[in-house]
Structure 1
Amino acid sequence: MLKVNNINVSYGAIHAIHDLSLEVNDGEIVTLIGANGAGKTSTLRAISGLTPIKSGEIIYNDKVISTLGAHKIVAHGLSQVPEGRRIFGDQTVEENLLLGAYLRKNKSEIKESMEEVFNSFPRIMERRKQLAGTLSGGEQQMLAIGRALMAKPKLLLLDEPSMGLAPIIVEEIFEIIKKIRNSGTTILLVEQNANAALQIADRGYVLETGSVVIEGLAKNLLNDDSVRRAYLGE
């Protein structure tokens, strides 16, 4: 479904991503783990078209998308939930969700998608008329995921969905991620909680200073001594 081939990303003189390659197959949860500054968010931003790449290519469903603008990439069926949620606090829950469907034209299908989101997230359904800025952190994360799902993506990019959340809410968010995959959406997950991410993923890539240093099945990475020492607190 997604192939990232030897991409390089720079911010001025800072070379953030070095010849990075990865692959995501249809129906998988693939996770990127690594320390702060390893290049995880930059990789997602490059895939979704928010940060231009200097070289290499990104192929999604057999089409090169690394030359497309971000809005065109969304139209191809790829959505990102950004780090820090980035909901619109002065708009209602419903208005935030409708923004996720801005490229869609069929009003009845948009309404149907909103009901699907509310079925998945009953807590935000109860707050559908509330300003999004009044929601708790966990509810805002659910709203950010729901907004991305309103675009009907085939591939969902999730950037640090557990950041700043209480442990019990983190468990709930990861259960939601599994349900999204089970409903037919492929997921590329960036997560500092490496243990939680590897528990639900099929495969993983470990990034250090903008490069992939280890890759493999998630269950193998969970049992890799170097990964356990560096990222699992053992």
Structure 2
Amino acid sequence: MLNVSNIDVFYGNIQALKGVSLEVKDGEIVTLIGANGAGKSTLLKTLSGLLKPKSGKIEYVGGSIAGNQPQSIVKAGISHVPEGRRVFANMTVEENLELGAYLRKNSGEIRKDIQKVYELFPRLLERRKQLSGTLSGGEQQMLAMGRAIMAKPKLLLLDEPSMGLAPLMVKTIFSIIEQINRDGTTILLVEQNANMALAIANRAYVIETGRVVVAGTAAELQASEEIKKAYLGGL
């Protein structure tokens, strides 16, 4: 589904990604783990068109999307849930969800999909007329994910969905990620909670200082003593 080959990405003169390559196959959950500042969020921003690679290839379902505008990437079937959630605070929950479908035309289908989001996130149904800025962190994360789903993506990019959430809410969010995947959406997950990420992923990549340094199945990384020491709290 997604093939990234040898991409270099810069912020001004600073190189953030150095020859990064990875693959996401249809139906998978693939996770990227690594320390703060390793380049994980930069990679997702590049895939969604917010940053342009200086070199390398990004192919999605057989066509190049490197350097494409964000709206054309959303139209192609890639949605990005950014770090920090970025909900529209002065709009209601339902207005945020409607905005997620801004490229779609069929209002009847949009209403049906909003109901599906409410089934997936019952808390949002309770809060549907509430301003998004008044929601808890966990509720805002649910809303950010629901808004992304409204674009009907084939590939969902999730950036640190558990950040700042209480342990019980983290479990809920990860359970919903698995449900979204079972419903047919492929997922590329950036997550500092490596234990939780590897528990639900098929495959994983470790990024350090802008480079992919380890790649393998989630089980292989969970079993690696080096990975345990560096990212899994020595478990």
TM bucket, shorter chain: over 0.9
> Any gaps of 5 or more consecutive residues in structure 2?
none
CA distance in 2 between partners of 1:43 and 1:168 (Å): 28
User: 1:34 aligns to what?
Assistant: 34
| Number of positions where the alignment pairs a residue of Structure 1 with one of Structure 2 | 234
Shift of 1:13: 1.4
The TM-score with structure 1 as length reference comes to 0.99
User: 2:179 aligns to what?
Assistant: 179
User: 2:233 aligns to what?
Assistant: 233
User: 1:16 aligns to what?
Assistant: 16
Shift of 1:42: 0.3
CA distance in 2 between partners of 1:135 and 1:68 (Å): 33
CA distance in 1 between partners of 2:183 and 2:105 (Å): 23
CA distance in 2 between partners of 1:78 and 1:231 (Å): 28
CA distance in 2 between partners of 1:52 and 1:39 (Å): 14
Residues 58, 66 of structure 2: 8 Å contact kept: yes
1:221 aligns with 2:221: yes
SS at match of 1:125: helix
User: 2:197 aligns to what?
Assistant: 197
> Any gaps of 5 or more consecutive residues in structure 1?
none
| 1:34-53 map, 5 Å | 34-53=34-53
SS at match of 1:110: helix
User: 1:99 aligns to what?
Assistant: 99
Residues 51, 67 of structure 2: 8 Å contact kept: no
User: 2:70 aligns to what?
Assistant: 70
- Determine what percentage of the aligned residue pairs are the same residue: 62
SS at match of 2:86: coil
CA distance in 2 between partners of 1:171 and 1:48 (Å): 27
User: 1:159 aligns to what?
Assistant: 159
User: 1:141 aligns to what?
Assistant: 141
RMSD: 0.4
Shift of 1:67: 2.9
CA distance in 1 between partners of 2:95 and 2:58 (Å): 32
1:120 aligns with 2:120: yes
Q: What amino acid maps onto 1:62 in structure 2?
A: G
User: Segments of 4+ in structure 1 off by > 6 A?
Assistant: none
Q: What amino acid maps onto 1:183 in structure 2?
A: D
Q: What amino acid maps onto 2:134 in structure 1?
A: T
